[in-house]
Amino acid sequence: MITLAAAQLFREKGFPSTGMRDLAGEVGVEAASLYNHIRSKAELLQEICFRVANDFNAQLMEVEASENLTGLEKLEAIVRFHIQMWINRLDEVMVTNNESKYLEEPYNGTFLNERRVYVRRLEQVIEDGMRKGNIKKVQPYAVVLTLMSAVRGIEFWHRTKKNISAEELEENMVLHLVKGLKK
Amino acid sequence: MITLAAAQLFREKGFPSTGMRDLAGEVGVEAASLYNHIRSKAELLQEICFRVANDFNAQLMEVEASENLTGLEKLEAIVRFHIQMWINRLDEVMVTNNESKYLEEPYNGTFLNERRVYVRRLEQVIEDGMRKGNIKKVQPYAVVLTLMSAVRGIEFWHRTKKNISAEELEENMVLHLVKGLKK
DNA sequence: GTCTATATAAGGATAGAC
DNA sequence: GTCTATCCTTATATAGAC
């Protein structure tokens, strides 16, 4: 898959520094041949960013619909999903986080808007949990900022994976980030 | 200061996409004139990254030497410093976090090594706090990853600053990230 | 110090043969 | 589909006049 090879290169070298010749070498063809499969370099970035965004949105929608879960349980499900995305799909998720600023308009604007909406929906989960029950009194906006960024540290775990297993990492992060919010 | 103008542009546009003509425009001269003040574009990135790294190292050394502080108090002092750096020196700190991969060798290797040493020293603070007293049993490595990344969310707070003040943001993050570790 | 002009390299993308 | 050759733009950095 060209898109996944692109995600790996965009992560490692950055989007502007990744040449079509680099990507072609990874895929095993000449640069010109890539254009039989893709329209442009910019399109590859769009596909990566919006696919990841869609996956996050779909999971959040699922959680919002789970009426049997408490607020804290919803938050835990969301945080676990973020952690697993960073563990299992690092290339795509890092490109979405670090390279989306290179999206051309109107895609960059759309992307930022989608992110704002996502943040607001996550704040809503926290507010509901605070009102109805088991989440302690905090500023939802500050908590969302913290949660969504904290998982970015998993980037460095990937470089060795020696200090701790994926499962231990997830449990430690959940304990630190979510259980600390229990009333 | 050319270095600070560079930090702002490197943050906004990314290091590879920032042209010397962009920087010259920001400074108010032609691109060629910049070379009477700096040696190269690469040198600007080095200055930014290592100055920030030095500031973090200096603060950590200070905290390590404070024998009157408990482990948890040391950790809180470190986390507050990170938060304040992200609030007050966003351009430089973001370039150090996001653009350091564009450092040429041997600078990139040196930088990554310094980071590893910093992480290990922070783990040591947590281990000491766990053994001697008031930090709950956790995996120090996971906690350090989480703490150092969580503050990156402040990037998004800067875009509006309307939801919450700098002081509230700091207190909420400390409450979430540090107090949750109290035994 | 400043500038204009330019050397040299590399980028994304296309043309057209097969 | 693949390739070679190339167009055109832009990049960092330097030369040399003032």
Lowest mean per-residue pLDDT among A42-46, A91-95, A178-182, B95-99: A178-182
B163 has a pLDDT exceeding 90: no
**CATH code of A103's domain:** 1.10.357.10
User: What is the C-alpha separation between B57 and B59, in angstroms, rounded?
Assistant: 5
Domain interval for residue A133: 41-181
Residue A30 falls inside a structural domain: no
Residue-level pLDDT at A134? 86
Is the shortest CB-to-strand distance from B62 to strand C under 7 Å? no
Question: Is-cis flag, bond preceding B140, omega within 30?
Answer: no
Residue B16 falls inside a structural domain: no
Residue A61 falls inside a structural domain: yes
Residue A93 falls inside a structural domain: yes
Residue B160 falls inside a structural domain: yes
Whole-prediction pTM value?
Answer: 0.97
Task: Tell me the average pLDDT of chain B.
Answer: 96
A158 has a pLDDT exceeding 90: yes
User: What is the C-alpha separation between A133 and A28, in angstroms, rounded?
Assistant: 56
Average pLDDT over residues A139-166: 96
Instruction: Report which DSSP code applies to B39.
Output: S
Interface of A with B (CB under 8 A): 13-17, 98, 101-102, 119, 138-139, 141-154, 156-157, 163-164, 168-169, 172-173, 175-177, 179-181
pLDDT in tens, B8-37: 999 999 999 999 999 999 999 999 999 999
Sign of torsion over alpha carbons A123, A74, A78, B138:
positive
- Residue A30 (CA) to nucleotide D4 (C1'), in angstroms, measures 10
**Two tokens, residue B51:** 């100055």
Residue-level pLDDT at B182? 86
Q: How far is CA B7 from CA A171, B13, B51, B111, B173, in A?
A: 37, 10, 12, 17, 26
**Are the Cβ atoms of B179 and A179 closer than 8 angstroms?**
no
Residue-level pLDDT at A163? 86
Question: How many domains does chain A divide into?
Answer: 1
Q: Across the A/B interface, how many CB contacts are shorter than 8 Å? A: 107
- Outline where chain B has alpha helix (H): 2-13, 20-27, 31-34, 41-65, 71-88, 90-98, 107-132, 140-150, 154-157, 166-177
Residue-level pLDDT at A91? 98
Let me know the angle formed at the C-alpha of A125 by A121 and A130, rounded to the nearest 5 degrees. Answer: 140
Do A64 and A125 touch, CB atoms closer than 8 A? yes
Residue A115 falls inside a structural domain: yes
A101 vs B contacts (CB less than 8 Å): 14
Share of chain A above pLDDT 90, in %: 93
B40 has a pLDDT exceeding 90: yes
In the chain, the amino acid numbered A30 is E
- Residue B41 (CA) to nucleotide C5 (C1'), in angstroms, measures 21
| Between A59 and A132, residue with greater pLDDT | A59
- Residue A16 (CA) to nucleotide D15 (C1'), in angstroms, measures 30
**Two tokens, residue A10:** 């965009």
Say which residues have a Cβ less than 8 Å from residue A174's Cβ, sequence separation at least 6: A76, A79, A80, A83
User: What is the C-alpha separation between B9 and B25, in angstroms, rounded?
Assistant: 11
pLDDT in tens, A100-142: 999 999 999 999 999 999 999 999 999 999 998 789 999 999 9
